[in-house]
Amino acid sequence: MRFGTATPTSRPPLIRPSPGPLRPAPRPLPTAEAPGPGHGQSPAVTRAGRRGGPGPGAAPGAAEPSPTLPARKHALNCHRMKPALFSVLCEIKEKTGLSIRGAQEEDPPDPQLMRLDNMLLAEGVSGPEKGGGSAAAAAAAAASGGSSDNSIEHSDYRAKLTQIRQIYHTELEKYEQACNEFTTHVMNLLREQSRTRPISPKEIERMVGIIHRKFSSIQMQLKQSTCEAVMILRSRFLDARRKRRNFSKQATEILNEYFYSHLSNPYPSEEAKEELAKKCSITVSQVSNWFGNKRIRYKKNIGKFQEEANLYAAKTAVTAAHAVAAAVQNNQTNSPTTPNSGSSGSFNLPNSGDMFMNMQSLNGDSYQGSQVGANVQSQVDTLRHVINQTGGYNDGLGGNSLYSPHNLNANGGWQDATTPSSVTSPTEGPGSVHSDTSN
DNA sequence: AGTGATGATTTGCA
DNA sequence: TGCAAATCATCACT
> CA-to-C1' distance for A276 and B11, Å?
27
Is the Cα dihedral A254, A321, A272, A393 positive or negative? Answer: positive
Of all nucleotides, the one whose C1′ comes closest to residue A300's CA is C5
How many degrees, rounded to 5, is the angle at CA A117 between CA A114 and CA A118? 85
Q: Digits of tens for pLDDT over chain A (439 positions)?
A: 333 333 333 333 323 333 333 333 333 333 333 333 333 333 333 333 333 333 333 333 444 445 576 677 677 677 777 777 777 776 776 676 555 554 444 556 677 778 788 878 877 787 776 544 444 544 444 444 444 444 555 666 677 778 888 888 888 888 888 888 988 888 888 888 887 777 777 778 888 888 888 888 888 888 888 877 776 666 666 555 556 789 999 999 999 999 999 988 999 999 999 999 999 999 999 999 999 999 999 998 888 888 888 888 888 788 878 877 777 777 665 543 333 333 333 323 333 344 433 433 333 333 333 333 333 333 443 344 344 444 333 333 333 333 343 455 555 566 543 333 333 333 333 333 333 333 2
With a CB cutoff of 8 Å and minimum separation 6, the contacts of A94 are: A200, A202
Q: Which residues pair with A403 in a beta bridge?
A: A268
Angstrom distance (rounded) from CA A60 to CA A423: 116
Phi and psi based region of residue A360 (left: phi greater than 0; alpha: psi -120 to 50; beta: remaining): alpha
With a CB cutoff of 8 Å and minimum separation 6, the contacts of A353 are: A263, A264, A386, A389, A390, A392, A393, A394, A395
Of all nucleotides, the one whose C1′ comes closest to residue A145's CA is B8
Phi, psi dihedral angles at A268 (to 5 degrees): -60, 140
> CA-to-C1' distance for A266 and B4, Å?
24
SS3 category, A15: coil
> CA-to-C1' distance for A339 and C4, Å?
39
Closest residue by Cα to residue A362 from A418, A313, A308, A298: A313
Angstrom distance (rounded) from CA A416 to CA A265: 9
> CA-to-C1' distance for A252 and C13, Å?
18
Tell me if A404 sits within 8 A of A269, measured CB to CB: yes
pTM score over 0.85 = no
Closest residue by Cα to residue A69 from A88, A44, A90: A44
Q: Which residues pair with A414 in a beta bridge?
A: A408
With a CB cutoff of 8 Å and minimum separation 6, the contacts of A258 are: A266, A268, A272, A276, A433, A437, A439
Q: At what angle do helices A134-144 and A201-239 cross, to 10 degrees?
A: 20
Of all nucleotides, the one whose C1′ comes closest to residue A147's CA is B7
Nucleotides of chain B in contact with protein CB (under 7 A) are 5-9
The protein residues having a beta carbon less than 7 Å from any atom of strand C are A 239, 242-246, 267, 270, 288, 291-293, 295-296, 299, 404, 406, 413-414
> CA-to-C1' distance for A281 and C13, Å?
26
